[in-house]
Each structure stands twice: as C-alpha cells, then as structure tokens.
Amino acid sequence: MVTPLPPDEVLLAALRAGDEEVFARLLDGWSASMLRLARSFVSTAASAEEVVQDTWLAVFQGIGRFEGRSSLKTWVYRILVNTARKRGVREQRTVPWASLSTDDGPTVDQSRFRGPEDPYPDGWLTFPKIWPSTESEVLAREVRGVVAAALEGLPARQRVVLTLRDIDGQSADEVCSLLEISTANQRVLLHRARAAVRSHLEQYYAATTGGAS
C-alpha cells in the first residue's frame, strides 16, 4: 500500500532542508503521472523523460523561491507543462495553446438520436450497450491498449485535460489553474475527450462481441 504524502508545509520544510528521503518519495509518487503529461506535448518517450528530469532539477533549484500561492503539486506540474510546451514547440509537436479550438462539432453522431418530429425528440434511438467486465487480465490489457491509442489520437488540449482529470485524478480547479484555462473551457475539452475515447471503446466492444453499440 502506498503511504500518503505529508501536507505541503511538511514537504516544503523537508525539501528546503535537503531531505533526500522526502524528495525520493515525491519522485516515486509523481514521476509516472508527470511522464504521461509530458508525453502529451513532445514527440518521443525519451523526450518526455528529459522534460521530467529538467522539471525535477528546476524544482530542486527553485524550491526556496516557492511562495505557496498554489499547492506544491500544482506548482511542480506548472513547471512541467511550461518545460514540455517549450520543448514541444521546438520539436514542432505542438502549436500555441491558445490557438487550438475546442469547437469540433457534435461529440456523438447525431443519427443516433431521435429527430424533432419524434414523440421523444433528441432521445437515443437505442440506448448504448452495457460493456462487459474487464476482470480478465487479457481483456483489461486490450482495453488499456484501446484507451492509449484513443488518447494518442486526441487533439493536444483534449488529451492533456483528460490525462490530468481521469488518469491523474486532479480536480477541475487544479486543471484550470495549471493550464490557465476557464472552467467552461476545461469542461468542454474534457467532455469531448471522454466522448472520443468512449467512441473508440464502443467500436472495440462491437467488434469483439459481434454486435453494434
């Protein structure tokens, strides 16, 4: 079982005192999610690893200047995002964040809904099927692969927001602060990303079970 990290004030005091054990716990606890997030901005896994290394170096060098205006984790992740953005632009992986649109049209094929003349307009023609359990390790591994492929195909902003919210478990407020976007923008990006991933999963289950979703 993973031991929870102590409160920020305890972490900060330990880090500023050069406590290597606490720093190692942070590395173990946050580096995997930081690597996933960095990979959303850069072209290779190796490049993402370098972003994470550069971030930890910046944290170690700058911890004395941290003013506590946000949580320690948000501060660390903001350094990561800024580092990854700069590297991604150099690699021509990303374009300026503000220039990416969130309006990609309907998130679900409109033909799946009842028309305006129907007694129940805008309702589902047929409800989506319930997906089978993923208790089988083989099935779970396949599903993880489908989700990973769906994530890779998402627009950059949607991929980043979904990674932060649904994989790393950060709150909406934390994501808005980290990425400097509005609550409404975050909500739209997350909704579209989830809809896209769900569509990939529907196609996968339809193919494996022999039926349509």
- Residue 179: strand, helix, or coil: helix
Please provide residue 133's backbone torsions phi and psi, each rounded to the nearest 5 degrees.
-65, 150
pLDDT, tens only, 100-136:
445 555 555 555 555 566 665 555 445 455 555 555 5
Q: pLDDT per position in the chain (213 positions), as tens?
A: 557 888 999 999 998 998 889 889 999 989 988 998 898 888 888 999 999 999 999 998 999 889 888 889 889 999 999 999 888 888 765 444 444 445 555 555 555 555 566 665 555 445 455 555 555 565 667 778 888 888 888 888 888 899 888 888 889 998 998 888 899 999 999 998 888 888 888 888 777 765 544
Question: Residue 146 contacts by C-beta under 8 Å, 6 or more apart in sequence?
Answer: 200, 201, 204
Cα 117 to Cα 191: distance, rounded to the nearest angstrom: 27
Tokens at 160, concatenated: 């980043």
Cα 134 to Cα 24: distance, rounded to the nearest angstrom: 34
- The predicted model scores a pTM of 0.67
For the chain, how far is it from start to end, CA to CA, in angstroms? 38
Tokens at 178, concatenated: 């980290």
Question: Residue 160 contacts by C-beta under 8 Å, 6 or more apart in sequence?
Answer: 37, 40, 41, 81, 179
